[in-house]
Amino acid sequence: MQLEAEVRVNPELRADRFVQQWQGLRAQRDKLGGWQNEDARKKVEISMTKLAGSIEKDPQMGRALATRGNQLIGRQWSLEWSVGSRDGGIGRELTDRALARGISQELSHSLGRGRGLGIGM
């Protein structure tokens, strides 16, 4: 119970947990190659999309995930173009939300990109 309490208040620990879940789902998806596993692969991809969407609900975790592109999609990402990420005086809270939204979108987009290139199939 103490660990769960720590995870609730520490965005770095939540990011660690997110990365573990993402990598586990990605490994499942990678094992489900070929047309005969399309339905099962789709279910895993839906879970991955929902997990990516959860980042927007936890902007502090999104900030903690910002440096973990290699762990999540196998390459670093550049999110400085995201709306509000260079706040120009707008404020940190909005910046964290915009960063979280950018990460969520990048992860969701990476699912389609990987499938289109035949990666992990």
- Is it the case that residue 57 has pLDDT exceeding 90? yes
- Is it the case that residue 121 has pLDDT exceeding 50? no
**What residues does each domain of the chain span?**
1-47, 69-121
Task: At 3, list the tokens.
Answer: 């660990």
- Is it the case that residue 94 has pLDDT exceeding 60? no
Torsion of CA 53, 86, 78, 28, to 10 degrees: -20
- Residue 96 and residue 7: Cα distance in Å, rounded? 19
Higher pLDDT, 16 or 84: 16
Least confident of 4-18, 24-38, 80-94, 105-119: 80-94
- Is it the case that residue 87 has pLDDT exceeding 80? no
* Mean pLDDT calculated for residue range 58-78: 83
pTM of the model: 0.75
- Residue 56 and residue 97: Cα distance in Å, rounded? 6
